[in-house]
Amino acid sequence: MTQEELVYFSRQFANMFGMPVRLYDQKEKIYFYTPVNIEIDPVILCEKEILQKTEEVSYYVYQDSWYYGIVNYKSYQFIAGPVSELKLPDSKLKKLGFLLEIPPDQLALFVSEIKALSGIHLDTLLQAIILYNFTVNKSMYDISDIRIRSEEQKHISSGIKENEISTDMPEFYNNHARTFSIEKDMMKKIMNGDVAGLIDGAIKIPAVSSGNLAPHLIRHQKNFFIRLETVVARAAIDAGLDVDEVFSLEEVYIQKCESLNHIDRIKNLQYHMVLDYADRVQKLHAYNKNNSKFVTEIAKYIRNHISEAIKTSDIAEYFGKSRGAVSTEFKKQTGMNLSDFIQLKKIQEAQELLYQTEKSLVAISNYLGFSSQSHFCRVFKQVTGITPKEYREKI
């Protein structure tokens, strides 16, 4: 096919399946088309990784939320997406817009448009790019050819069986029984928000027998980190932490772990991760000891509107009550002023952004709806005891 034909077919593909597409020639973007109104192409956040894919047909997952379909044809690469199986909350879509540096006055439009790309299953995307690939490469694939390899399945099965046979069973059970006991103790401390207890028992974390999770030490440590992160995250959810907050935090930590190539840094991140979850549970229990649905719903409202200048009157209107009634009930159940709680949740979000991005203090301040950077810095120090700059340097 000629370049002109590829561009034509790519545009028809986008209109037919309702998703953005772009075409590259020798890794240089030559065409971008989207049936939804987004001026900044989201692919820029993971373009480098996607362009490294060399398979004829494949897909890429971004931040455990978005899928991209990929077809390679001669010197060209076709990329469709992003789409998501999930109905993602507005807070996550706003954060995506923030990472793309969407102007604040255009963020609401971006969220409404990007929502059209959610609710599309991965298999639907794969069927679509299989059709595209057949048109250009004349090769026939099924979904199973892309997602599941029969030879790989046989290899996995025989490998697991071989390991089962060769395991030293008494030592295996003793080590794993001890690991399970330590993990249970850790989960209990996290569910209780027992930060001090975790610090006292920190020596046990590296002492856990992690088995053999990979043939190379760095990969082994990363795999152990991911396994531990999953255990810790579920304990935090059981303790009452918001599911969306936990899943978002889980993505941040796993991505950060994957970016590290030194065991000491992975171990330090592991230690920080465990204490962070416990600290969040501790803070949750500090204002919501009785796991009040009313308080939980307010916290969820703030999280979903975190990029707005939230007022107590906004929350009152959402609940269909007077401002005084909502503020009084919140203070009665938590012992905290609702306005202070709004600031607390905004600063917790700021901490995540300072940790996971390199966005400027001005950008973060604007995104979180503060009137000025100086106001943001003042509130941040009131809540944390240090300035945003000091926090970023410390992390």
Cα 271 to Cα 172: distance, rounded to the nearest angstrom: 25
Identify the three-state secondary structure at position 306: coil
pLDDT at 32: 95
The domain made up of 288-394 has a fold known as Arc Repressor Mutant, subunit A (1.10.10)
Percent of the chain whose pLDDT exceeds 70: 82
Cα 201 to Cα 186: distance, rounded to the nearest angstrom: 9
Q: What is the pLDDT of residues 46-104, one digit of tens each?
A: 999 999 999 999 999 887 788 999 999 999 999 998 998 877 888 888 888 999 998 88
Residue range 3-151, CATH number: 3.40.1840.10
- Sketch the domain layout of the chain as residue ranges: 3-151, 167-286, 288-394
Across the strands, what pairs with 22? 32, 79
pLDDT at 200: 55
Residue 125 near residue 67, CB atoms below 8 Å: yes
pTM of the model: 0.55
Residue 36 near residue 113, CB atoms below 8 Å: yes
Question: What mean pLDDT is predicted for residues 32-44?
Answer: 90
Residue 59 near residue 71, CB atoms below 8 Å: no
pLDDT at 209: 47
Across the strands, what pairs with 73? 76
Residue 246 near residue 300, CB atoms below 8 Å: no
Cα 381 to Cα 379: distance, rounded to the nearest angstrom: 5
Residue 71 near residue 77, CB atoms below 8 Å: yes
Angle in degrees, CA 326, 303, 355, rounded to 5:
140
pLDDT at 185: 67
Question: What mean pLDDT is predicted for residues 269-274?
Answer: 84
**Six-digit token pair at 220?**
């082994």
DSSP assignment, residue 101? T
**Six-digit token pair at 373?**
């950077």
pLDDT band at 161, cuts 50/70/90? very low
Percent of the chain whose pLDDT exceeds 90: 33
Question: What mean pLDDT is predicted for residues 164-191?
Answer: 53
Phi (first) and psi of residue 128, to 5 degrees: -65, -45
DSSP assignment, residue 104? G
